[in-house]
Each structure stands twice: as structure tokens, then as C-alpha cells.
Amino acid sequence: MEKEIVISVKDLNISFRTNQGLLHAVRGVSFDLFKGETLAIVGESGSGKSVTSKTIMGILANNAIIDSGSVIYENQDLTKIPEEEFHKIRGNKIGMIFQDPTSALNPIMRVGKQIVEALILNGQRRKNKVVDSYINAYNKYNATKIQLDNLVKDKELPKNEKQEQIKVLKNQIVELKKEYQNAKKLGKRQVKKEYEGYLITYKNDVKDLIKRKKEADLEYKRKKAEIKDDKVQLKELENELPLPKLIKEYLELREKHNRLIRVTHKEAFEEAIKIMKEVGIPEPERRFKMYPFQFSGGMKQRVVIAIALMAQPQILICDEPTTALDVTIQAQILQLIKQIKRDRNLSVVFITHNLGVVANVADRIAVMYAGKIVEYGTANEVFYNPRHPYTWALMSSMPDMNSKEKLQTIPGTPPNMLFPPKGDAFAVRNRYALKIDYEEHPPLFKVSDTHYAATWLLDPRSPEIPIPEEIKTRIAFMKTEVEKLRGISHE
């Protein structure tokens, strides 16, 4: 069965304006994220992994330039849609967990308010129904406008052909604009009619409540007149007063009506308590009123995860969510993210510099270096059959309980991306580098249908260099540990 692609990143190139010149942070990155999977993007600091995730979220810094490429989500290119449209996607459909929970939370705002804030702001149900009625028509209109802009910028197309295509697209834009505007007007009318019906029902229910109150008042006066001076019976009658019950019924009626229009504070509170329990925050009703400084690091990260989950996103981007935590808490947060992904059928992009962190979390792994993906494949392929020297270097620098010898470090530093190297960016740090590595960047060579690596060592003309013995030992140890973990999880 063919997997459903939820996000498709194609040939993404991103630069940053600096005082020294253009810094080329992301260079030709492409990958697909499938529904219900976890894709881990691994690499050293400065490899471009966080910049890639921020592009998907639409939160790049002001000095960033998207030179080329696309991020396709629901038939829209996220690199080209306006901010007012991105606002409907960010948080609502694509959520993000940041690496430092202390920085992510407002220190002077109660945790509960931070959890419910986005849900209340974006929970305008009536307004959202109108938007849903015309959003598909608007997306088609907007996509055609972007197509026209790209065509105008195209300098390679012959002039006559270009003018003909521009004319066709302009006519399409006029028609699509009419369709979108008509869909918007129709949506407004339909939603208005629907909510007028809700209002009539609500007013009738309130009238019925008022009528019952008047009847109850008359009955109370009649009974009181019959009792006269019997104090015991008068006290019993007062305890049976219908007013408190009617007030409670009215408040419930009003809450029910308001929930049709927007997310109410009471509804947001109930949802927050439910999600706080889900992410493992004990005594959520009490914790709801606390400030961030009253939480430990691990609990703050759980709060950040709760905030990301409040809008029920389809995609969750985890940008090094365990970096600021100690090892025991890291394991708990990783297990929590894995559990949430499974329970909610989320698609997850997991960003980390530590290959070991994703060993038991990822379905597929993309290894990044100097703004490029140098190897990608399933978790088993990358862990048990790594083919790129940079992946070997990452694995050999991973600590484990079995390590007796000194851990290997990767010599040198990542290249200065103000001046990207001519050939393979890893060549100067690679002890297996060939002459061609300094002259030309390698393409992605196919290892299997799902496994690719950008290294000249996989070229049939290259000398055969097997996986180093220390890496084979590390792989054998990791297989044993994974089997143990699987055995524990099945018990």
C-alpha cells in the first residue's frame, strides 16, 4: 500500500544575509514526510536541520532568503503563501516543540493561560466555518498567482511561449478569483443562516426557562401562604427553592450556545486538563494555576508539549526537545513523544544532533551536513548499515555503556558556509576522502530502494572501503541493546 505524503520538501535552498555576505545554510534539501511516521533529521550544530524545520513552520528570521525550492503541504507551497494564510496552518495543523522549555515559556504568565491561549484565540468556530467554505477555492486562486509570478521570473522560456502562457494564467486567475469570492459569499450566507437557527433555539430555550421560573415562583408563594408560621416547614421550603437549579440550567444553556460560536474558557480549561494528564503532569488542576519557575525542566518540557498538542495538529516538529534535559528525563520525554505519536497518529519531524537519541524513536533518518542531506534511509538501514563516512563518524562518537576505549571525535570543524566548499563539504574532516571529494560534490548513490548516501565511496570506480571494524562492533552492540529494549516493552 502506497504511503500518504503529508509534507514534501523539494530542492530547498536557504541563505542568510550577514555583514560578511550570504551564508548558505540549506543547500538542495529534499525529503518526504509520510502520515504516521517519525522522520529524524540528525547532524551537528550548523548543519541546517533547524533552519529546515523553521522553514516548514514559517518562522525564519528576517534576514533569511528562500533562494529556491518548495515545501508542499495540502497542495500549497508553504514558502510562498502570505502570513495571514500561514497563521491558519502554524500551530493548528503543524505544531512545534522547542529545545529549551524555559525560553519557550513566558515566566510571568501562569502555565494554564499559556496552554489555552492559542486554542481560545484560534477557536472562533463561526468564523472558521466561513473560512472552511472557501479555503479550497482560495488555495487554487493563490497557487495560480504564484505560478504566474514564477513564470514572469523565468528567463529561459522563449518570449512568445512565455507571453502565451502568461495570458492563459491571467484568464485563469480572473475566473478563479470569481469562484473564490462567490464561495466566500455563499459560505457567509450559509453560516449566517445556520447560526440564526441556533440563536432562535437558544432564545426559545431561555423563554421556556423564564416561564418555568415564573411558574416555580407562583408555586413557592402558594406553598408559603399555606404553611404560614411553621418555621420548620418554611426552612424546608426554602431549601427546595428552584432558583439555584434554574440558574445552573441557564448557565449550562448559555455555555452550550457559546460553544457553537467559539471555544469558551471553560471548554479550553477542560481540554487543557485532559492534555496535561495525557503528557504526564500530575495534579493538573493545581498545576494549571502555577508559574513556569515552579516546574522542573522535565515538567516544563511537558507543558511545552501540551501547548503544541492543544490545537490537535497533524504534524509535530520536535526541535531538539531533550537537549536541555538530563539523561533520565530525556528517556521519559522521548517515550512520551513516541506514545503521543502512536495514540494520535501524528507525523513527526525529530531534529537532533545526537544519533543515539533517535535509536528507538525514528522510522526513517536523514543525516545532514553543511546544509545537505548526506544519507537517508530507514532507521535500521542507517544504524545497521551506515554508508557515509560522516554517519560513521557520528556513530563512533556516541557514548555507550560498553565503551572501554576513548571515544573518537570528528576532527576539525564544519566548513564556513559563507564560502561553501567546492566538492564534498566533509572531505577535509574525512579520513577516507578521495581526490574527487575535493573537486566535485557526490550525488546520492542508491544503496537500496529506501537507502541513499552521498559519498564517492559508493561509486563503482572507487576503491572498496568496508565499514570500519569499530563501527561494526558498535552496530553489533546496538542490535543487542535494541533487542533487550524490545523484550522489555513486550513484557
pLDDT in tens, 89-113: 888 899 999 888 888 899 999 999 9
- The mean-pLDDT minimum among 140-149, 221-230, 362-371 falls in 221-230
**Quick one: 468 and 319 in the same domain?**
yes
Query: Is 129 within a domain?
Result: no
Q: What is the rounded CA–CA span in Å between residue 362 and residue 377?
A: 11
**Quick one: 252 and 380 in the same domain?**
no
Interval 125-134: pLDDT, tens: 999 899 889 8
**Quick one: 89 and 140 in the same domain?**
no
Q: Which three cell numbers mark 456? A: 564517492
Per-residue confidence band for 467, with pLDDT thresholds at 50, 70 and 90:
confident
Q: Which domain does 30 fall in, by range?
A: 1-93+315-395+410-472
Q: Which range has the top average pLDDT, 104-113, 141-150, 155-164?
A: 104-113
- Report pLDDT for 108: 95
**Quick one: 44 and 144 in the same domain?**
no
**Quick one: 89 and 139 in the same domain?**
no
- The mean-pLDDT minimum among 80-94, 370-384, 424-438 falls in 80-94
Contacts of 71 (CB under 8 A, 6+ apart): 7, 8, 9, 10, 12, 55, 56, 77, 78, 79
Per-residue confidence band for 491, with pLDDT thresholds at 50, 70 and 90:
very low
CA atoms within a 13 Å half-sphere pointing along the CA-CB vector of 411? 7
Mean pLDDT over each residue of the chain, to the nearest integer: 88
Q: H or E segment at 76?
A: strand 76-77
**Quick one: 381 and 248 in the same domain?**
no
Specify the CATH number for the domain of residue 448. 3.40.50.300
Interval 47-88: pLDDT, tens: 999 999 999 999 999 999 999 999 999 888 899 888 878 888
Query: Is 289 within a domain?
Result: no
Closest residue by Cα to residue 195 from 133, 134, 126: 126
Interval 190-212: pLDDT, tens: 999 999 999 999 999 999 999 98
**Quick one: 332 and 418 in the same domain?**
yes
For 11, 27, 430, the CA distances from 424, given in Å and listed in that order, are: 18, 12, 10
Domain final residue pick, 246, 261, 276: 261
Query: Is 487 within a domain?
Result: no
**Quick one: 63 and 181 in the same domain?**
no
Query: Is 103 within a domain?
Result: no
Query: Is 285 within a domain?
Result: no
Query: Is 348 within a domain?
Result: yes
Query: Is 300 within a domain?
Result: no
**pTM higher than 0.85, yes or no?**
no
Q: Which three cell numbers mark 311? A: 490545537
Query: Is 281 within a domain?
Result: no
Q: What is the rounded CA–CA span in Å between residue 456 and residue 425?
A: 12
Closest residue by Cα to residue 393 from 404, 409, 379: 409
Domain count, the chain: 2
